[in-house]
Amino acid sequence: MFMDLYHKFLAAPEHFVTVYVIPFVIVLSVLVFVHEWGHYIVARMCGVKVETFSIGFGKEIFGWTNKAGTRWKISWLPFGGYVQMFGDMDPSSARHEDEDKTPLTEEEKKVAFYSQPIGKRSAIVAAGPTVNFIFAIFILTGLYTFVGQPYTPPVVGKLMVGSPADKAGIRPDDKILYLDDTKIYRFQDMVQFVSVNLDKPIVIRLVHSIGKDAWSKKVVTMRVTPALIHEKDRFGFESERGQLGIYAPPKGSAMKKHTLVSAFIAANEDVWGIARDTLKAIWQMIDGTRSTDELGGILRIGAYAGDFAQQGIISLISFAALLSVNLGLINFLPVPMLDGGHLAFYAMEKIRGKPPGERFQEYALRVGLTFILGIMLFSTWNDMIQLKIISYVKHHIF
C-alpha cells in the first residue's frame, strides 16, 4: 500500500495533499479547537485570565489579541494545540510563589489559575475532553436529524456455513434481541459488539424462527463463542475482530430519519458505545487479549481521514465524531501531561489537603512524558511497518 501511495504522490503531489493531508489537518484542527475551547470557555466562566489560545505548536503563523488580552494564534505544527492560563506553571497547575521574584498581587491572584479552588481547576481541566464528547453528540444529532442514521434491522439474512452461529443453531430470519446484557437495536450494533468481543463467549437472546407463521417463533437463549478473525484493510493496517458468521438481511441498510429528540438519544447511545468499545479494546491490549499491532498513530489517522473524505462529507463528519470521542477518552486517562493526569493531582491535593510535592510532580511528569512519547513512537512504528515503509527503506536503501 505504501508503494501505491508513494506513486500517487510522485504522479500528482497536489492531488495527494488534497485527498489525504488537507482532510487530516482540517479534522484534527477542528477537534483540537473544540477541545481547547472547552478549557478556554470554562476558564473564562471561572474568572481565570487566558493568555494564549493556540492551534498547533511552534512558531506563530498569524494571530490576534482580543479585548480580554488572550492571544489567539495559528502555529506551524498542526498536531495539537494548547491554552495557556495566567499562573499555570507546572503539571499540577500549581504555582510556587517562593520561586517567583515578583509575587502576584491580590488582583492578579483573582485571575490566576493556580489560586482557584480545586473544584474550579478540576472543572477547567475536565472541560476539554468533556466538550469533545459533547461535540460528537452534537454533530451526530445533526446528521441523524437531517440526513438519517444508517439502519439495518437486527435480523439474520444468511449464515456462513460452519461458522459459530451456524453451529449454534441460529437460522435465517432469527431476530437478535440481546448480546449479553446489551440491547440490540440495529444489525450494526451486533457487528460492533461482536467485533470487540474477540473470541469470548456471548450469551445471545433472540427470536428463533421455526416456521413461517407468527406463532412458530419463540424467544431462545444460547451461548456462542465468536471466531477470532485476523484481517487487513486496503491500507495494510492489521486488526483482530470477533465474527459470528451472520450476514445482514438482503434488503440491506437504509437511512432512518429521526426527530431531534430521537436523534439526540441515538447519538448519545452511539457515542457512549464508541467509548465503551474503545476502553474495552485498550484493556484487551493491556491484558494481552488483543495485539498491540492495532495501535495506530498519526499515519493511520491521516490515511483514514483521506479515505473517509473521498467517500463524502457525511462520512468525514462521522469519522470526526469517532475521533472526537477517542480524543476525549484518551485525555481522561490518569497519565501526567494529559488532562486526566491533572485531575489525578487535584484528587491527591483534595485528599492530602495540599498539592503533591515538587519532586513527586517532577518525576510523575517525566514518567508521563516518556509514556506518551513512547506510545507515539510505537504507534508510528506500527503504521510504518504495516504500510511497508520500513521494508521499502531496507530494500532500497540498505
Q: For 311-345, give the DSSP string.
A: H-HHHHHHHHHHHHHHHHHHHTSS-TTSHHHHHHH
Same domain? For 102 and 176 the reply is no
Does 387 or 25 have the greater pLDDT score?
A: 25
- Looking at the domain assignment, is residue 202 inside a domain? yes
Same domain? For 133 and 193 the reply is no
- Looking at the domain assignment, is residue 98 inside a domain? yes
Is 36 labeled as catalytic in the residue annotation?
yes
**Cβ 71 vs Cβ 51: under 8 Å:** yes
Q: Is the pLDDT of residue 153 over 70?
A: yes
Q: Which amino acid is at 245?
A: G
Q: Is the pLDDT of residue 65 over 70?
A: yes
Q: Which of 157-161, 196-200, 389-393 has the highest mean pLDDT?
A: 157-161
Per-residue model confidence (pLDDT) at position 262? 95
When pLDDT is cut at 50, 70 and 90, the band that residue 9 belongs to is very low
- Looking at the domain assignment, is residue 390 inside a domain? no
What is the chain's mean pLDDT, rounded? Answer: 85
Same domain? For 120 and 233 the reply is no
- Looking at the domain assignment, is residue 297 inside a domain? no
When pLDDT is cut at 50, 70 and 90, the band that residue 15 belongs to is low
Compute CA distances 195 → 110, 124, 200, 231, 278, whole Å. 51, 36, 11, 12, 11
Does 389 or 177 have the greater pLDDT score?
A: 177
Summarised one tens digit per residue, pLDDT across range 229-247 is 888 877 778 888 999 999 9
**Which of 36, 99, 108, 358 is labelled catalytic?**
36
Torsion of the alpha carbons at 288, 290, 292 and 298, rounded to the nearest 10: -150
- Looking at the domain assignment, is residue 248 inside a domain? yes
Same domain? For 193 and 139 the reply is no
- Looking at the domain assignment, is residue 298 inside a domain? no
**Cβ 314 vs Cβ 147: under 8 Å:** yes
Full domain range(s) for residue 178 = 150-256
When pLDDT is cut at 50, 70 and 90, the band that residue 2 belongs to is very low
Domain total for the chain?
A: 2
Same domain? For 27 and 135 the reply is yes
- Looking at the domain assignment, is residue 310 inside a domain? no
Summarised one tens digit per residue, pLDDT across range 47-56 is 999 999 999 8
Where does a domain end: 207, 239, 256? Answer: 256
Return the percentage of the chain with pLDDT > 70, whole number. 87
- Looking at the domain assignment, is residue 378 inside a domain? no
